């Protein structure tokens, strides 16, 4: 089961308040692998509360980034945006 954390004013929560940008048309023309991975990394950083994991958590952190990257790419590949150029 997935849960969503609700953040406070203007997206600020704790020390990390950088926004993840929208990765679909019409907001961006092209999305590269680096864009998807950067968004996944930012998500995992936000959820875990760590900018960089301790060595004993590095494997779990990287596995989470890989999983979120794959899920994000699958979502973007599956979206149909009405009125967009295909």
Tell me which residues of the chain have a pLDDT lower than 70.
1-18, 84-86
Determine, yes or no, domain membership for 3.
no
Q: In this structure, is residue 52 part of a structural domain?
A: yes
Please state the pTM of the whole predicted model: 0.73
Per-residue pLDDT, 21: 85
Cα separation, 59 vs 62, in Å, equals 5
Domain contains 1: no
Residue 9 domain flag:
no
Supply the pLDDT for residue 85.
62
Residue 54 domain-assigned (yes or no): yes
* Number of structural domains the chain divides into: 1
Domain that holds residue 57: 17-78
> Does 62 fall in a domain?
yes
């Amino acid at each position: 089961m997935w849960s969503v954390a609700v953040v406070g004013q203007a997206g600020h929560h704790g020390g990390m308040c950088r926004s993840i940008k929208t990765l679909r048309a019409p907001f961006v023309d092209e999305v590269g692998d680096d864009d998807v991975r950067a968004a996944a990394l930012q998500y995992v950083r936000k959820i875990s509360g760590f900018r960089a994991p301790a060595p004993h958590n590095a494997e779990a952190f990287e596995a989470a980034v890989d999983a979120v990257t794959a899920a994000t790419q699958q979502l973007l590949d599956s979206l149909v945006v009405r009125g967009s150029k295909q």
